[in-house]
Chains A and B, each alone.
Chain A
Amino acid sequence: GQNIDQPTEMTATEGAIVQINCTYQTSGFNGLFWYQQHAGEAPTFLSYNVLDGLEEKGRFSSFLSRSKGYSYLLLKELQMKDSASYLCAVRNTGFQKLVFGTGTRLLVSP
């Protein structure tokens, strides 16, 4: 099966940098996805990692270490609108099952 862990809540200050961690255990890894979800809305796709290393997209970066079963999402120059839940999802090989962690609620304060 798949097991995905994320911290439940984090707080940060506007303009700062925050790192949201995700650890996973899965049989047959085939990619890790990060999403942002504002309250009451559908998740929005942020990034995809399948090889080790850092992927950068503007203020958001995502890192993957397959040997450690570890990923993080890095948010720079935090803005109030970044207050949301951030979801980590892992896909396995074979039937391509895509399973989500419980998400990390990020609160950005002035």
Chain B
Amino acid sequence: DGGITQSPKYLFRKEGQNVTLSCEQNLNHDAMYWYRQDPGQGLRLIYYSQIVNDFQKGDIAEGYSVSREKKESFPLTVTSAQKNPTAFYLCASATVTEAFFGQGTRLTVV
């Protein structure tokens, strides 16, 4: 069963803690993306990667970090430097002609 898996669906953390969101795909897609969505807003690009061991900053990369050690995996770390981390985080993977999203992770920082 091919697809993109984000886990967990809901995540709660205390302020000041780093947290890592998982994104795994078995679609053999080269490109992977991380977005953030706030209530009633559009998707904003955090980081993206075209190949293993290489990634680019998106429009709102401050306070986030990523790695791309395997083609299938693109984890996102939300660091304590991110001022407003509470949001809906979406991971996508893409080929030339299509791009699919995982189910998303709702992160709440209290």
B33 to chain A, nearest CB (A): 6
Contact B56 A43 (CB under 8 A): no
Q: Which residues of chain B have a CB within 8 Å of any CB of chain A?
A: 31, 33, 35, 41-45, 48, 50, 56, 58-59, 90, 92, 94, 96-104
Chain B residue nearest to A48 (CB atoms) is B97
Contact B56 A97 (CB under 8 A): yes
Contact A42 B42 (CB under 8 A): no
Q: Number of A residues whose C-beta is below 8 Å from B?
A: 21
Contact B42 A102 (CB under 8 A): yes
Contact A97 B58 (CB under 8 A): yes
A105 to chain B, nearest CB (A): 9
Contact A97 B41 (CB under 8 A): no
Q: Please, how many angstroms separate the alpha-carbon atoms of A96 and B96 in the complex?
A: 9
Contact A42 B31 (CB under 8 A): no
- State the main secondary structure of chain B at its contact with A: strand
Q: Give the chain A neighbours of B94 by CB distance below 8 A.
A: 96, 98
Knowing A100-B43, A101-B42, say if A42 contacts B50 (CB, 8 Å): no
Knowing A97-B56, A98-B33, say if A87 contacts B101 (CB, 8 Å): no
Contact B97 A97 (CB under 8 A): no
* 0 or 1 for each of A71-110: is its CB under 8 Å from B? (1 = yes): 0000000000000000101000001111111110000000
Q: List 10 A-B contacts (CB under 8 A).
A: A42-B90, A43-B90, A45-B98, A95-B56, A96-B48, A96-B94, A97-B48, A98-B45, A100-B35, A102-B42
Q: Give the chain B neighbours of A41 by CB distance below 8 A.
A: 103-104
Knowing A97-B56, A97-B58, say if A45 contacts B43 (CB, 8 Å): no
